[in-house]
Structure 1
Amino acid sequence: MSLDAVTVAICTHNRLDLLRRTIASIHAAQRPAGCRGEILVVANACSDGTEQWLTDMAVNGAGPHGWSFRHVREPALGKAHALNRLRTLETAELIAFVDDDHRVDPGYLRSLVEAAERHPESGLFCGRILPDWDGREPAWVHDTGPYRLYPLPVPRFDLGDEERPLGVDGPCPGGGNLAVRREVLRRVGPFRSDFGPVGHNLGGAEDIEWVRRALAQGERLQYVPGMVQYHYVDPDRFRLAYLMKKSFERSASVVRLERSMPSDGTAPPRFMWIKVFDRLVRLVVSAADASRRRFYAMRLAGALGEIHGYRLRRRDESLSAIGKGKE
């Protein structure tokens, strides 16, 4: 099964400098012979000059190597709204999602298209996301000892060098390096706007929820190691306040999506509160050691995030029960 075109889709909000970098990397990527390329940007409530720059780009019609280019505006702030706007547009059969703070590896598109041709039974494809280290990051980021920070505030998804299918049991990729066949994008349904980031806040999981829903509906997902994207490393992400907030939001999203965890009570389970108390004590006694203090501050924020996620999940279940009662 040969593919004659691919749409590279970028949802962006007020990141013009990074967006330019992303698009330049796509132009520089190798494209399989006979496969047309299109860059499609959804400008999500942008106010930093992005839309004017995109308009100027569109006037030229095509970029280097024959890339066509277009953009649309989505005024409702929130990445899920931008993704759902994308679902309504005409695209190539294969849609490759690239975040606006990523750059693609030169072999990215070739690896994706070749995998899509090898696996016509698969409707979704994912690859590696690696930090784009530039030497400005603090040394402790690369620690491998007992108090190393995980997950790092820079996304990383790397399942090794072997191509393989992924199932409902995971691991589950996010949407930063995901490709979807057009009919699958439409068939699975919209992205949930109550999950995704709004602007540049630290909410998320709208992509993971959608991928899990797709797999639950029987869609197939293929991990392709040659699909490599590099995530921009923002130095501000290594401040303790950011680390704690990200840990809180990520843990809340994970628990909110976790259906195997019991939720038969209105209050968070006792073990969650025990974990908070344990992390707090460890943080207090670690005050003199910067590595331990940083580690347990993140763990405490994560434990509090789990409680928040539990409460959000209980709310979701209550709303779902009310909705079913009205049917």
Structure 2
Amino acid sequence: MDISVIISTCNRCGQLNRLFEALAAVKVKTGLEWEVLMIDNASSDDTTDVLYREAEKKRFPLKPLYEAQPGKSNGVNKGIAEARGSLLIFTDDDVEPDSGWLSGYWKAACQYPEFYGFAGRLLPRWDGPIPKWFRLHKDIGVLASLEHRRDLGKKAVPLLKGAVPGGANAALRMSAVKRMGEFRTDLGPGTENPCAEDTEYMCRLLVTGGHFLYVPEALAFHRNDSKRFTRQYALLWAEHAARCEVLSKRPKMKRSILGIPRYLMRQAVERYALWQLCAVGEKRFRKQIRFRQTWGEIKGYRRLKKERK
């Protein structure tokens, strides 16, 4: 087997058809063997039935699986255990791959044997108008990640040192996955720490001496629901992302107060004051976002302290 695509899904049976249509349109060269492992991660809707009905159509090599333990990472780990491909491609149920997606990854894997990880091009596909507030503030790093965009141009280049792709459009050689192990099940959607399970996992490739290659031909589109993009959602995301980053990296602390780095305590006071003193408007929102990031980091360190007791 050449390629295994791994997708964990939960309670989105009504939205899977767009993904199915995209996968059915994927073009591969004759002789390339591939499979799509879609894991129903403890859904309470008709996801399993929808997966089996699609598999019966045989439009693409779909293999439905089920994982009873909630949490996206549990679903992905189930897929890794069942995968037979020498190249594993990771994506999500709200992503629509381009027709040349698989061929792009396979060509890069064959052409660049020195790379063990690959990051495809990822563009947002908005379901509705882009909210005005988001257009004004997407230069803020934590908000930019909400858009799910990776576009480094149309030439294959190594990712910058330390840069890792998320799980919406990335690939790893099976040989690397065997060294990296399983996804952490305390991180990711379906847990109380809903972020960073994919970036934490991809970081392990760098730790083992591997590197990522950006592959523009492996193009996919991430669906963004404009109705979900509210200021309140962005604030919550900023806090969650910062907290989960601390939990994923588990940094050591030298100077702390009650387990919280001193610099974060000072930063929290300063950012809270700047937020409260700022007039109503876009500038105030930016101050609030930065405070919520700091607050999320503090919550992450507090959680680490409890775990270390």
Give the TM-score, by structure 2 length.
Answer: 0.89
Q: CA deviation at 1:157?
A: 2.7
Select 1:28's aligned residue among 10, 25, 30: 25
Query: For 1:50-61, what aligned pairs fall within 5 Å after superposition?
Result: 50-60=47-57
Give the corresponding residue for 2:166: 174
User: Is the counterpart of residue 186 in structure 1 residue 200 in structure 2?
Assistant: no
Give the corresponding residue for 1:46: 43
**Cα RMSD (Å):** 2.6
Q: CA deviation at 1:283?
A: 2.1
Query: Alpha carbons of 1:24 and 1:145: their partners in 2 closer, same or farther (altered >3 Å)?
Result: closer
Query: Alpha carbons of 1:260 and 1:194: their partners in 2 closer, same or farther (altered >3 Å)?
Result: closer
Q: CA deviation at 1:198?
A: 0.9
Select 1:233's aligned residue among 221, 224, 249: 224
Give the corresponding residue for 2:130: 137
Maintained 8 Å contact 2:120/2:217: yes
Give the corresponding residue for 1:243: 234
Q: CA deviation at 1:44?
A: 0.3
Higher mean Cα deviation, 31-40 or 105-114?
A: 31-40
Query: Alpha carbons of 1:111 and 1:75: their partners in 2 closer, same or farther (altered >3 Å)?
Result: same
Q: CA deviation at 1:131?
A: 1.6
Query: For 1:1-327, what aligned pairs fall within 5 Å after superposition?
Result: 5-60=2-57, 62-63=58-59, 67-143=60-136, 150-166=143-159, 169-198=161-190, 203-258=194-249, 262-265=253-256, 266-289=258-281, 291-315=282-306, 318=308
Aligned equivalents of 1:166, 1:146: Cα separation in 2: 20
Which residue identity does 2:103 align to in structure 1? Answer: R
Higher mean Cα deviation, 110-119 or 260-269?
A: 260-269
Aligned equivalents of 2:222, 2:108: Cα separation in 1: 22
Q: CA deviation at 1:108?
A: 1.6
Maintained 8 Å contact 1:141/1:149: no
Which residue identity does 1:132 align to in structure 2? Answer: R
The secondary structure found in structure 1 opposite 2:15 is helix
Which residue identity does 1:226 align to in structure 2? Answer: E
Query: Alpha carbons of 1:166 and 1:296: their partners in 2 closer, same or farther (altered >3 Å)?
Result: same
Gaps of 5+ in 1: 320-327
Aligned equivalents of 2:236, 2:165: Cα separation in 1: 21
Q: Deviations over 1:158-181 (max 9, x none)?
A: 3333322347x4211111111122
Identical pairs, percent: 30
Aligned equivalents of 2:203, 2:32: Cα separation in 1: 30
The secondary structure found in structure 2 opposite 1:133 is strand
Maintained 8 Å contact 1:202/1:246: no
